Amino acid sequence: LAKTTQPISMDSYEGQEVNITCSHNNIATNDYITWYQQFPSQGPRFIIQGYKTKVTNEVASLFIPADRKSSTLSLPRVSLSDTAVYYCLVGDSMDTGRRALTFGSGTRLQVQP
Amino acid sequence: DTAVSQTPKYLVTQMGNDKSIKCEQNLGHDTMYWYKQDSKKFLKIMFSYNNKELIINETVPNRFSPKSPDKAHLNLHINSLELGDSAVYFCASSQDSWPYNSPLHFGNGTRLTVT
């Protein structure tokens, strides 16, 4: 099973760049790396997904080294509204042979003014 | 329009009761899921259905029974509720473009409190 390890919490200030690193040593060849954001009283929301190297969208960038054993979510110039829990996921093989996403404990990001 | 909607948003009930949570998605996705988030915020998958067929059944008590009348709906019925069932239950859906892990779309959760 592909497990992930993330820092429990991080603090930042408005306008700073935040990098959250996730370790996934047992990632499988076909697994993609996906990041989600969760605000209180809401379901997780998809942020970005990648397989290797670098992916960028309007919200974040995802950096994945060649060995794919880790990944880094980069949030440029965070604001107070970026305060949330961020989850890193990789595919998880289940007994039925189908795949689902297993969520770890996530990283609680607190952005201060 | 809400993509994944679940009802009710809050559910307070007593031990031993039977309750249901409903979920509907209007995204045209093939796969739907139920996740449980406990007080420590861990999100654990419980069930997954693909085109009304059960494909993932995690280790959950038999008191939990999912039902999918069609691929746009996945309901969760819980019998003989226990205190430990108190949690937030999230419904989700995905396009499930195998072998890629297609992004999940979540509802806003149902907070179940068993007293």
Q: What is the pLDDT of residues B89-105, one digit of tens each?
A: 999 998 875 545 678 89
The residue of chain B nearest to residue A104, with distances taken between CA atoms, is: B42
What is the percent of chain A where pLDDT is above 90? 71
Q: If DSSP codes are grouped into helix, strand and coil, which group holds residue A107?
A: strand
Cα separation, A66 vs A15, whole angstroms? 30
Pick the closest to residue B33 from B62, B12, B4 (CA basis): B4
Which band of pLDDT confidence, cut at 50, 70 and 90, is reported for residue B50?
Answer: confident
pLDDT in tens, A13-57: 999 999 999 999 988 887 888 899 999 889 999 999 999 999 999
Beta strands B31-37 and B87-94, pairing class: antiparallel
Residue B36 reports pLDDT greater than 70: yes
Contacts of A29 (CB under 8 A, 6+ apart): none
Q: For residues B59-82, give the mean pLDDT.
A: 93
Rounded Cα–Cα distance for residues B57 and A87 (Å): 22
Q: Could you tell me if B3 lies within 8 Å of chain A, comparing CB atoms?
A: no
Gap from B75 CA to chain A (nearest CA, Å): 17
Strand order in the sheet with A18-23: A18-23, A70-75, A61-64, A53-56
* Contact flag A44-B43 (C-beta cutoff 8 Å): yes
- Distance from C-alpha of A6 to C-alpha of A87, rounded to nearest angstrom: 8
The values of phi and psi at residue B83, to 5°, are: -55, -40
Average pLDDT over residues B36-44: 85
Q: Which residues of A touch B (CB under 8 A)?
A: 30-32, 34, 36, 41-46, 49, 85, 87, 89-91, 94, 96, 98-106
Q: Do B100 and A43 touch (CB under 8 A)?
A: no
Positive or negative: CA dihedral B20, B21, B22, B28: negative
Q: Which of A31, A45, A96 is opposite residue B101, by nearest beta carbon?
A: A31
For residue A42, give the nearest of B57, B98, B108 by CB distance: B108
Place A98 in a pLDDT band, splitting at 50, 70 and 90.
low
Pairing type for strands B43-50 and B53-57 reads antiparallel
What pLDDT, on a 0 to 100 scale, did the predictor assign at position A18?
98
Q: What is the pLDDT of residue A100?
A: 62
Asked if residue A95 has pLDDT above 50, the reply is: no
A102 CB neighbours in chain B (<8 A) are 44-45
Closest of A89, A80, A75, A85 to residue A19, by C-alpha: A75
Which of A30, A85, A98, A108 would best serve as a mutation to test chain B binding (most B beta carbons within 10 A)?
A98
Residues paired with residue A87 on neighbouring β-strands, in sequence order: A36
